[in-house]
Structures are given as C-alpha cells and as structure tokens.
C-alpha cells in the first residue's frame, strides 16, 4: 500500500454529510409533494368558489322574490309591473331548480348579472313606488283645430251637394 497520502485525507462519513444528504432528500420530496398537491388544491378551491357563487346567486334570487311578494300589496298602482318582475323571477327560480348542478361559471355570471339588474329595478323603482311607464301629456288643442279647419270646407261642400240634390 502506498502510504504517501495520509489516511486523514480520505473522506470520512460524519454527521455533516448525513445532514446534507438528508436536506437534499427533504427538498426533493417537498418539491414532488408541492408539484402534485398544489394543482389539486387549486382545482378544488376553484370548484368551491363556483359553488359559493352559485349559492349566492340563488340566495339573491330568493331574496328578490320575497321582496316582490312583500311589496306587492303596498303599491297597487304598479302591481302589473311587480307581477311582471315576479313572473321573470319565478321563471329563473324554476330554471335554477332544474339545472342548478349543471350550470357553468359563465352561465352563473350571466344569471347573476340579470338578477342584479332586477335588484336595481327593485331598489330604484319598485321600492319607491315609481312606475316604469312615464306619463306624458299632449296638448291636443292644436291638432283638433287643424282637423276642424281641414274638415270644415269639405263638410260645407258636402252639405251644399246634398241640398242641391233635393
């Protein structure tokens, strides 16, 4: 055996080596877990987020229907408009009962936007008893005068023709 090199220079297995190997293995295992666990976690949170949005939409729809039922006896003058909104909300409720589990996120957003539109109608018009129809007045006297002036000469000539024929 060649004893030129001391035995101390040979690599010793000490605790530093074991710690380095252990940390290396830990980092590799952690990265593998992160790569597999994180996408599943994000996917499940997105699914839950869609469910939460769907439940909030159904809650808003039920709340609007309750508002319409509650306010209808107070405003008899706009009961037709309230019934129209109530009919639309009932149609949406029936659709949601049948297809709630099959709705995509885009469809949920579209229905939610329509429900927010009905909520705006309720807040701005119905709750205050304001009708959707604007009452406009028309000054008809000028039109009546014009009709009289155009029909008078024709009436006079028709009367003279009937009297001359007798």
* Domain around 52: 48-130
- Contact call for residues 82 and 126 (beta carbons, < 8 A): yes
pLDDT category at 6 given cuts 50, 70, 90 is low
Report CA-CA distances (Å) from 24 to 4, 33, 46, 128. Answer: 35, 14, 33, 70
Q: Count Cβ atoms within 10 A of the Cβ of residue 27 and give its class: 0-12 exposed, 13-18 middle, 19 or more buried.
A: exposed
As a whole number of angstroms, the distance between CA 46 and CA 38 comes to 12
12-21, 99-108, 138-147, 150-159: least confidently modelled range = 150-159
Residue 87 lies in a domain: yes
More confident residue, 5 or 151: 151
Give the angle 147-150-156 at the CA atoms, nearest 5°.
Answer: 120
The number of domains in the chain is 1
Instruction: List, for residues 70-122, the tens digit of each pLDDT value.
Output: 988 888 888 888 899 999 999 999 999 999 888 888 999 999 999 999 999 88
More confident residue, 155 or 40: 40
pLDDT category at 47 given cuts 50, 70, 90 is confident
Mean pLDDT of all residues belonging to the chain: 83
Residue 52 lies in a domain: yes
More confident residue, 152 or 89: 89
What pLDDT, on a 0 to 100 scale, did the predictor assign at position 109? 92
Kindly give the interhelix angle for 15-71 and 79-99, rounded to the nearest 10 degrees.
140
Residue 123 lies in a domain: yes
Report CA-CA distances (Å) from 90 to 36, 97, 121, 152. Answer: 45, 10, 16, 56
In this prediction the pTM is 0.56
Pure H helices in the chain: 15-71, 79-99, 105-124, 141-165
Residue 34 lies in a domain: no
Report, as an integer, the average pLDDT of 127-133: 83
Residue 4 lies in a domain: no
pLDDT category at 157 given cuts 50, 70, 90 is low
Residue 118 lies in a domain: yes
């Amino acid at each position: 055996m060649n004893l030129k090199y001391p035995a101390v220079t040979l690599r010793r297995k000490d605790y530093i080596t074991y710690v380095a190997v252990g940390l290396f293995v830990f980092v590799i295992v952690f990265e593998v877990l992160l790569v597999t666990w994180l996408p599943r976690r994000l996917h499940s949170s997105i699914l839950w987020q869609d469910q939460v949005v769907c439940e909030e939409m159904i809650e808003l729809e039920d709340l609007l229907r309750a508002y319409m039922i509650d306010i209808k006896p107070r405003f008899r003058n706009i009961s037709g408009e309230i019934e129209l909104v109530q009919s639309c909300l009932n149609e949406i409720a029936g659709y949601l009962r049948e297809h709630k589990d099959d709705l995509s996120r885009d469809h949920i957003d579209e229905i939610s936007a329509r429900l927010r539109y009905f909520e705006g109608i309720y807040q701005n018009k119905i709750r205050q008893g304001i009708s959707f129809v604007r009452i406009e007045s028309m000054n008809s006297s000028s039109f009546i005068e014009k009709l009289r002036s155009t029909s008078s000469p024709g009436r006079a000539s028709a009367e003279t023709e009937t009297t001359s024929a007798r």
